[in-house]
Structure 1
Amino acid sequence: MPLAPDRAIRGLLFDRDDTLVVDVPYNADPRLVVPVPGARRAVERARAAGLLLGVVTNQSVVAKGLATREQVDATNARVDALVGPFDVWCVCPHDAGDDCACRKPRPGMVLDAAERLGVPPEALVVVGDIGADVQVARTAGAQGVLVPTPRTRPEEVDAAETVAATLAEAVDLVIAAAGPSTVETDRT
């Protein structure tokens, strides 16, 4: 099913691992960042269309004590340099059992990104590779696009309202739904 065209889409939030960059479990080493093929071009197309751009990412490596927040931030800076730049980064450093409001599929990061971007959550689309990525969109009032990878479970694909074969296809769907009058933004 395509994205709802009746919404004024103004921004696009990406999951980090297996969506923008090749997943290296618990990666907090900038040297290990490798973009997913076509990621930079897809992000450039979204930016050229006038969309606000952000990343929402669970990084439990911090809560597990395997890396510091500074190491995760340095890794994210490398992603930003290779694939971005992004207007906003929202990171959940908690583990699954921490009962925080930000860990996907809870809506905290999407709501935070919306506030920081100055748009309502309904104006955002979240693109990711697992069910939690599309669930967080739904929970926050945004729309979601699932881009399955080999680790995406079949039931996650079945539950997703919108599925794209590639990141480029997901961005195409968002740009098409945003329409020809995608918001003009002041990026100064």
Structure 2
Amino acid sequence: MSVPTGVREATDADWAAIWPIWREVVEAGETYAYPLGATSEQARGWWFDGSRVTVLEEGDRVLGSAKMGPNRPGRGAHVGTASFMVDAAARGRGIGRRLADDMVAWHRGQGFAGIQFNAVVETNVAAVRLWQQLGFEVVGTVPRAFDSASHGRVGLHVMYLDLARPHVSSRP
């Protein structure tokens, strides 16, 4: 198994590699509330929406992607947000952690005060565990706000990381 080469900013040319991951994750119906059956162009517009988009590669294969930026405009722009998608075949290899470390470092470098995730599906235990390991706290849960394909209606966590606290890196 080769080692992922690293996180870099995505280009428009990366969409061809991101799209199959995006489609698989969304169509699974377990983690994102994007509409099912979206076209590639619709999905591209949602993912490449002016946010910073990154990819993590292994050789010339994209294993995951993240997008990040302000959670809200104007007076809320000092708090960031992000979204992540990892290729199903690459899960469990630390791809999400590496994307997350890059995302937290980017938000810190840009002067954000914190990072808020608006909708972490409570049954997405791997993501919830990762965010908690990195210092995020569940600050609230909206009951039955997500219609999971396998669990029915489940809660959506709002999670927050105060960037005034030191970052907990996933690297030893």
- TM-score bucket of the superposed structures, by smaller chain: 0.3 to 0.5
Higher helix share: 1
Higher strand share: 2
Give TM-score, length-normalised by structure 2: 0.39
